[in-house]
Every structure is written in structure tokens, then in C-alpha cells.
A and B are shown apart, each in its own frame.
Chain A
Amino acid sequence: DAGVTQSPTHLIKTRGQHVTLRCSPISGHKSVSWYQQVLGQGPQFIFQYYEKEERGRGNFPDRFSARQFPNYSSELNVNALLLGDSALYLCASSLDRGFREQYFGPGTRLTVT
């Protein structure tokens, strides 16, 4: 069985631009969460989606948004990129909304110049 997949692997953007990151959860998993991991720090929770609805949101500005599709894949969108948005963006999937075991993808490395 394939694990969590994310695309693209790496991305370089300019300040002010917009970016879309994609995630496909493990087959059968219905919940997807997004995290931002700045170099040298632990992952920070951005969003959780379950059944296409936002079920949790971390302390991130409105420039960050996400959605989940009927096949449970998800997109994370970031508008008006800032230098500080440079990070590894991780997607994690879990079987259900309250299911505690979550599995991470390899991440998308975003560099904002």
C-alpha cells in the first residue's frame, strides 16, 4: 500500500506569489492534516480536514487556506507569500477524524525568495 504522497517535492517562489501544495492520503484514510515545519523546529499544525470540512485550524493567518476533495485528497494554498513561509510543508493522514494515529508524507520543501 502506498503511503501519504505529496507534490511537488520542491518549490521555489517569489515573495507575493501564490502556491498550491497537494496531498493524497493513505487509501482508506478520511482525515488529512497540514503542518508547517521550519528548519530546526517541530511541525506546527495548520489545518485538519475530515469529510471535506475544516475540523481544526492552527494559529496561521488567513493567507493560508485548504480544501479536501471527495476522494479525500487535499490542497493547501498560501497567498501573498512571505520569506517566512519558507519551510517544509507536511501532510498527515489518519483513518478517521478522532483516530489518533497519523502518518506523514515526505513533505514539500517551499523556498520563498
Chain B
Amino acid sequence: QQQVKQSPQSLIVQKGGIPIINCAYENTAFDYFPWYQQFPGKGPALLIAIRPDVSEKKEGRFTISFNKSAKQFSLHIMDSQPGDSATYFCAASMWGQNFVFGPGTRLSVLP
């Protein structure tokens, strides 16, 4: 119940494409769903986050779509750039504690 599933494992898109990364969870007590971006040798950086009372959130080129009934959420990256090439992690938490992370998606954006 504490697991967060993430797909795909890896993704390759052309510059300007819209990569989509999907996550699914089981525990309906989760109340916060962030996405992190991690470059090699660095710690994860918070990109964008959403709460279950909102179905969509946009920040710059990043959009989270949230489907509470399906217990799924996804990250869309608009107009992707080679600099977006990184590993992306979805996560979930209850009351800001005990974060559970997905296994990650390695994104490559080709120039």
C-alpha cells in the first residue's frame, strides 16, 4: 500500500516533444504528490507538486495531471529541451512525512 509505481522506466523524445511520465499509488491517505528532477551526481530538486483536491497544476513548462478516482498522476513537460534530460521521480506523502518515491524515469531529449 505504501508503494508508488512509475512508468516508463526510460523515455527518449526529440527537442520540442512532450514527454509524459505516469505514476500510480494505492494508499488513499496520501495527500501530497511532488515530482523531483535529478541530474547525475546531484540531489533531487523539487519541480512541482499537487494535492488531491486539484486535477491539474502548471508551473512554467511542467504540468501535473491528477486523477483521484484512478489513483494516478502524471507529469507533462511542454516544449522539452536537451537540458531537461535527467531522471524524474514521482513521490507521495501523508502530512508531509514518510515520503515514498517511485523508481524513476530516465528522460533523454535529443537535440
Contacts and interface: CB of A to CB of B under 8 A. Distances in A.
A1 interface: no
Contacts of B46: 101-104
Contacts, number: 62
Contacts of A28: none
Contacts of B41: 106
Interface residues of B, number: 24
Interface of B: 6, 32, 34, 36, 41-46, 49, 89, 91, 93, 95-104
Given A42-B101, A100-B32, A100-B49, 17 more contacts: A35-B101, A43-B101, A45-B100, A48-B97, A96-B96, A97-B96, A97-B97, A98-B95, A100-B93, A100-B96, A102-B99, A104-B36, A104-B43, A104-B45, A106-B41, A106-B43, A107-B42
